[in-house]
Amino acid sequence: MLPATAGDNPGRPRTEASFAALCGASPVGASSGKQRRHRLSRGDGRQASSALWRIVLTRMSHDPRTKASVARRTAEGKTTREIMRCPKRHAAREAYKALAASAGQAAGIPLTPAA
């Protein structure tokens, strides 16, 4: 589902931030008064956002590094929603790199610069 987010043109999102915004994984300020918070954008890519949520949920229950991160952030007093925001953006970053690499291979662009 994540490659379908870019549509027919895999080069459409120029940066990982724009891809994260398409997937609904970019942080949006939701601060009030002295409290500084962020939430995830709910504007675009509901299916992509759902796919990223499933990836993060699976990692939270099976990946030791993610489990350690969740335990650390829980001890800091963060909510589950706040905890999931960071790995969701990380998963979007990984998906963008894979998408960009496949788009480069399809266009015949070498992945490593010529020396």
Residue 70 pLDDT more than 70?
Answer: yes
Per-residue pLDDT reduced to its tens digit, 11-50? 666 788 877 777 777 777 776 767 676 666 666 677 888 8
The answer as to whether 11 is a domain residue is no
The answer as to whether 115 is a domain residue is no
The answer as to whether 59 is a domain residue is yes
The answer as to whether 109 is a domain residue is no
Structural domain span for residue 79: 16-29+37-104
* Confidence band for 68, pLDDT divided at 50, 70 and 90: very high
Q: pLDDT at position 103, please?
A: 67
Q: What is the domain count for the chain?
A: 1
The answer as to whether 23 is a domain residue is yes
Token pair of 23, please?
């997937």
Residue 1 pLDDT more than 60?
Answer: no
**CB crowding 83-93: b at 16 or more within 10 Å, else e:** bbbbbbbbbbe
The answer as to whether 44 is a domain residue is yes
Q: What is the mean pLDDT of residues 100-111?
A: 60
Count Cα neighbours of 90 within 13 Å in the Cβ-side half-sphere.
13
